[in-house]
Copies of this chain bind each other. A is one copy, B any other.
């Protein structure tokens, strides 16, 4: 019978707990990302969870407004929980641009919140792992972000992926040349859904809004094998149409440099990539896993012309990307069956009335980076062994006054004596590292 004063333990719709094993996986992945970002000179920043609603929504269309968690704080302020890390970064730059100096590379790993209808694998609270370089128009900045994206995925253990690259100016300059600038956003919208709705529907939608140019545009977005072929194809098409665009030269340079670094195989020139209706103005990219492209992009981004324009007259452009870590980890788990288990402890101290010697060994092992948990209760040995194994431990440690340490190999059930701390360390290292 439940106590009347008890409250039912439950979660708010769209939110979830992260249990130890996935939490450790995620933490490990985040540290890997931090390491990669830092190797390229990107620096961590943090911004508040709550912002003024007008600050968050200054650039938004109505869709975002419907999804944000918005309320009045105790001081009567209209505040909301951030729905991404980009808008807060723009606000941050408008306020701290002179403190951080330009060019500025930042990464930000943090939570964001959106009141979307929860779906499988999608929650109202999620992590974003963003990296940006602002204050440079140069192609080297674009290359930098593309290199980080590739290094990040490989460091996370992903090998079979392709970063699909496009340049928004290609489409824009093509439409301008045809005096069809007004169709730029509608066409972006149609192309963005090509993988969802299929080729036929896309083709007929294009024909509706661009009756005289649909075929040409269709040629424009046709896949062409590898990046060199795609580039050649685009050059031919643009020459035919007598359209001159700097975007082609930019793409050419980027692929040349990626190839020279021996990394070309991780990238693909793909004119279908649009990044929806977002604020991008130059290079855009999305990343697909070869074994699971259906889950969508696991790392996306692009160049934007004026990030802080909503808050300041200063123009700061940049390019950035974002790793979809939750989605990526879920995909890796599905591809590999399971992510490699992270042990909670390598060694477990088996309970004894007097644990002094075991505790001394614990500290000595920890100083060598070995994880040691102590079983804190006087329970049956079987129970303690099962517990140790559930933590992923390899060794159980006893101590007996006259014999010294006894090291229990939890897999083989063999007991190995070790006279003192030094001998125990040697044996345990062998037992753990094989």
Contact = CB atoms under 8 A, between A and B. Distances in A.
Contact of A17 (B38, B46, B387): B46
A311 B7 contact: yes
Contact of A310 (B7, B13, B105): B7
A43 B24 contact: yes
A411 B12 CA distance: 55
Interface string A333-359: 000000000001100100100011001
A299 interface: no
Contact of A15 (B5, B48, B363, B377): B48
A23 interface: yes
Contacts of A106: 20
Contact of A16 (B2, B48, B138, B344): B48
Contacts of A43: 20-21, 23-24, 344
Nearest to A8: B311
A55 B2 contact: no
Identical subunits present: 2
Interface stretch (A92-100, A159-167, A269-277): A92-100
Nearest to A67: B74
B374 A144 contact: yes
A260 to B, nearest CB: 5
A389 to B, nearest CB: 11
Nearest to A355: B140
Nearest to A52: B12
A261 B359 contact: yes
A364 to B, nearest CB: 11
Interface of A: 2-3, 5-13, 15-21, 23-24, 26-27, 31, 34, 38-52, 54-55, 58, 66, 69, 71-75, 77, 79, 81, 91-92, 94-96, 99-101, 103, 105-106, 111, 113, 115, 125, 133, 136-138, 140-141, 143-144, 147, 151, 257, 260-261, 308-313, 344-345, 348, 351, 355-356, 359-360, 363, 366, 369-378, 387, 390-391
Given A39-B369, A49-B81, 6 more contacts: A6-B312, A10-B95, A19-B99, A23-B46, A50-B69, A69-B73
